[in-house]
């Protein structure tokens, strides 16, 4: 595996790319602590005023909770429908598997604007516009592939003998799945759920259409702010989001480390 030594110039490139990827983000974080009222880097002084501003703003806090609620519901629904699907895919050879793959593919690859426009029109009939449930259901469509893929990966690595051992020693097949398979596979499910949540928290276009007026999630509020405001309060909100993303990232890493059966 050591066939190729990474040359010095290659390393330089890698460092440059990493810098390119990460530096801008660090800038945002730095500016959020700026004491100045405009966006300048490096910031003239340090202050927490922008954080105070958004944490005390009812609007921002409300948006935060909406994002959490929608995200949690999305993760929940995604797991509810995605886990059984993963079992079906891994354990059964069924007629129409290609059709089914196409279905999941379409959920994955449809451009957001199309999803947004179509579901908005659809919801008008159902009265689901401007509801948290409505947005969550719309986001679930995009969240499902994450749950299915990760759960299926865990299931694939699952040693069927564990279920057999459970049944031999007295467990009804359903009991075996509940007590043995699901707990062992739970890492994949959780990773999928986290991805589904994060995907929903960051989603913009569908949110603009379905829940973009009075009550809106963080992504919409952030979007408005980015276009309008010139002070670092947006940077502070962004940093909060970065923090949340980092937390989820660490969470996933911990889940995978503890479980050991999932590839990075």
Partner 1 sequence: MLSMDTDTPHPEENSGASVRLDALRKSFGFVRAVNDVSLDIPAGSFVSFLGPSGSGKTTTLNLLAGFITPEAGEILFDGAPISHQPTHKRGIGMVFQSYALFPHMTVFDNVAFPLKMRSEMEKSQMRKRVAETLAMVQLAGYQDRYPRQLSGGQQQRVAMARALVAQPRLLLMDEPLGALDKKLRDQMQIEIKNIHRRVGSTFVYVTHDQNEALTMSDFIVVMRDGAIAQAGTPQELYDFPADEFVADFLGGANLIKGRIVSGDAKRQQIVLDDGQNVVAPTTGMPLQAGTTASLFLRPEGVSLVPLERSKISAEVVEIVYMGSAFRVIASVSQQVISAMVSREDIAGLQIGSKVGFNWEEERSRVFASEAGAP
Partner 2 sequence: MNALNDNHPPHASDKVGPRWRIFPKTDIKLFLLLAPITLLIVVFLIIPIVIMFNKAVSGDEILAAYIEVLRSPVYINVFMTTLKIATMTTVLTLILGYPVAFALRFGKPKYRAIVLMLIVLPYWLDFIVRSYSWMILLGRRGIVNEALLWLGLVDRPVKLLYSLGSVVTGMVQIMLPMMILTLFAAMLRIDAKLMDAANIHGANRWKSFTRVFMPLSLPGVYGASLLVFVTALGFYITPALLGGPSETMISQSMLLLASELLDWKTASIAGTLLLFVTTILVLIYNRLFSIDRLWGGE
Residues that bind partner 1 (CB under 8 A): 159, 161-162, 164-173, 175, 180, 183-184
CB of 22 to partner 2, least distance (A): 6
Q: Which residues, numbered 56-75, are part of the site for partner 2 (CB under 8 A)?
A: none
Contact of residue 180 among partner 2, partner 1, none (CB under 5-8 Å per partner type): partner 1
**Residue 227 Cβ, how far from partner 2 at the closest point, in Å?**
8
Question: Helix or strand or coil: residue 46?
Answer: strand
Contact status, residue 216 vs residue 63, Cβ threshold 8 Å? yes
d(CA 241, CA 245): 6
Cα separation values, 199 from 47, 75, 146, 232, Å: 31, 9, 9, 25
Among positions 217-256, residues that touch partner 2 (CB under 8 A) are 219, 222-223, 226-227, 234-235, 238, 241-242, 245-246, 248-249, 253
> Residue 45's binding partner, choosing from partner 2, partner 1, none, with beta-carbon cut-off 5 to 8 A by kind?
none
21 sits near partner 2 (criterion: CB under 8 A): yes
Among residues 5 and 169, whose Cβ is nearest to partner 1?
169
Going by C-alpha positions, the residue among 80, 77, 59, 30 that lies closest to residue 238 is 30
For residues 106 and 100, give the distance between their C-alpha atoms in angstroms, rounded to a whole number. 10
Which structure tokens are listed for 247? 């937390």
170 binds, among partner 2, partner 1, none (CB under 5 to 8 A by kind): partner 1
Site for partner 2 in 140-159 (CB under 8 A): 140-141, 144-145, 148-149, 152-153, 155-157, 159
Nearest distance, CB of residue 189 and partner 1, angstroms:
13
41 close to 35: Cβ distance less than 8 angstroms: no
Q: Which of partner 1, partner 2, none has residue 118 at its interface (CB below 5 to 8 Å by kind)?
A: partner 2
Residue 185 CB, shortest distance to partner 1, in Å, is: 10
Task: Give the separation between CA 156 and CA 151, rounded to whole angstroms.
Answer: 8
Q: For the chain, what is the radius of gyration of the CA atoms? A: 22
Q: Which residue, among 165, 164, 133, 158, has the nearest Cα to 83 in the 3D structure?
A: 158
């Amino acid at each position: 595996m050591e066939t190729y030594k990474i040359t010095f110039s290659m390393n330089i490139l890698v460092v440059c790319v990493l810098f390119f990827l990460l530096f801008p983000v660090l800038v945002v974080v730095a500016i959020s602590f700026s004491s100045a009222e405009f966006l300048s880097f490096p910031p003239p002084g340090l202050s927490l005023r922008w954080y105070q501003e958004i944490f005390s703003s009812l609007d921002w806090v409300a948006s935060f909770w909406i994002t959490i609620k929608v995200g949690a519901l999305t993760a929940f629904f995604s797991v509810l429908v995605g886990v059984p699907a993963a079992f079906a895919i891994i354990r059964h050879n069924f007629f129409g598997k290609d059709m089914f793959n196409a279905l999941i593919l379409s959920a994955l690859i449809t451009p957001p604007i199309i999803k947004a426009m179509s579901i908005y029109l659809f919801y008008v009939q159902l009265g689901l516009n401007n509801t948290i449930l409505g947005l969550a259901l719309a986001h679930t469509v995009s969240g499902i592939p994450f749950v299915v893929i990760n759960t299926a990966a865990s299931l694939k690595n699952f040693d069927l003998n564990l279920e057999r051992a459970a049944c031999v020693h007295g467990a009804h097949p359903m009991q075996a799945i509940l007590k043995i398979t699901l707990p062992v596979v739970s890492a994949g499910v959780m990773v999928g759920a986290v991805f589904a949540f994060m995907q929903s928290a960051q989603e913009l276009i569908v949110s603009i259409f379905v829940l973009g007026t009075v009550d809106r999630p963080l992504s919409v509020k952030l979007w408005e702010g980015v276009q309008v405001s010139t002070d670092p309060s947006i940077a502070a909100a962004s940093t909060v989001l970065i923090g949340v993303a980092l937390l989820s990232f660490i969470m996933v890493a911990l889940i995978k480390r503890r479980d050991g059966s999932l590839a990075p």
